[in-house]
């Protein structure tokens, strides 16, 4: 016997209620009103962001990339705008010991075709020694340009873990915007898709109905062991690393603690 939507036996524990298509559409339309308001507010915030003042700095300051030291100005690749991600770095750590939070951002920014089409260049900056950085970039298979900003102060360097935007006017270079923490989520399409699912991200801070699977600590899915088990222990890697050629089971993380 098949249960009908209005039959109480159709309810599934720990899952959304089962309803007929018309009831679902009415609930969906009600939520859509809030979603559209959220989108409009996001547009208004973006408009305010475009009106922020900017800070000029020395575009000739040198950073180190695959071709050696180059002026920061070169990162624009002839375009007028530049977005960078500032990737945290742990000196001397093996690949699996690098920042899992930064990995989620860099992994989702591997291609910049659509940015380039709008006249925007993209690069990754980090404070690591270039020799270590180059080996890591090769292992991860990142196609975008990376640069070491070790010992570089000011807007070209500074704190890591940030998405930052720059503008140039000829040889003049300006810092226009910077964000970190959950501000970085805008590039992580996986989080946006998870937010569309009934169980969401599976993190403890999320508000979920009673009976839903219990959420775990923040960022619980960012590291796993060779068997795919989520863990922050000494045998784990940032999840995308397991898809890289030569990624072997980890015996020692190579550093203490983690960033989330």
Assigned token pair, 105 = 């951002």
pLDDT above 80 for 3 = no
Residue spans of the domains in the chain: they are 51-181
pLDDT of residue 200: 95
Characterise 253 by phi-psi region: left (phi > 0), alpha (psi -120 to 50), beta (else). Answer: alpha
pLDDT tens for each residue of 103-157:
999 999 989 999 999 999 999 999 999 999 999 999 999 999 999 999 999 999 9
pLDDT above 90 for 79 = yes
pLDDT above 60 for 80 = yes
pLDDT tens for each residue of 162-200:
999 999 999 999 999 999 999 999 999 999 999 999 999
For residues 5 and 11, which has the higher predicted lDDT (pLDDT)? Answer: 11
pLDDT tens for each residue of 26-65:
999 999 999 999 999 999 999 999 999 999 999 999 999 9
pLDDT of residue 133: 98
Characterise 148 by phi-psi region: left (phi > 0), alpha (psi -120 to 50), beta (else). Answer: beta
pLDDT of residue 259: 59
pLDDT above 80 for 9 = no
Assigned token pair, 89 = 């770095």
pLDDT of residue 252: 81
Query: What is the widest separation between alpha-carbon atoms in the chain?
Result: 75
pTM of the predicted model over 0.85: yes
- The superfamily in CATH containing domain 51-181 is Glutaredoxin (3.40.30.10)
pLDDT tens for each residue of 234-256:
899 999 999 999 999 998 887 65
């Amino acid at each position: 016997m098949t249960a009908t939507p209005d039959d109480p036996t159709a309810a599934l524990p720990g899952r959304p209620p089962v309803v007929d298509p018309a009831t679902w559409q009415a609930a969906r339309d009600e939520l859509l009103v809030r979603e559209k308001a959220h989108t409009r507010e996001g547009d208004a915030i973006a408009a305010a962001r475009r009106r922020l003042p900017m800070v000029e700095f020395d575009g000739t300051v040198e950073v180190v990339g695959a071709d050696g030291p180059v002026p920061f100005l070169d990162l624009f690749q002839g375009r007028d705008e530049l977005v960078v991600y500032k990737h945290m770095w742990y000196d001397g750590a093996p690949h699996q010991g690098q920042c899992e939070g930064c990995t989620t951002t860099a992994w989702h920014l591997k291609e910049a075709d659509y940015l380039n089409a709008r006249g925007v260049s993209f690069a990754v900056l980090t404070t690591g020694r270039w020799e270590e950085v180059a080996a890591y970039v090769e292992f991860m298979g990142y196609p975008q340009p990376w640069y070491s900003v070790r010992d570089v102060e000011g807007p070209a360097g500074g704190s890591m873990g940030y998405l930052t935007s720059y503008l140039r006017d000829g040889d003049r270079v300006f810092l226009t915007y910077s964000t970190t923490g959950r501000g970085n989520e805008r590039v992580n399409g996986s989080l946006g898709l998870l937010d569309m699912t009934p169980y969401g991200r599976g993190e403890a801070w999320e508000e979920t109905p009673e009976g839903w699977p219990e959420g775990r600590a923040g960022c619980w899915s960012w590291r796993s062991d060779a068997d795919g088990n989520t863990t922050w222990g000494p045998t784990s890697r940032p999840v995308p690393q397991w898809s890289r050629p030569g990624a072997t089971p980890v015996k020692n993380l190579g550093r203490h603690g983690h960033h989330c």
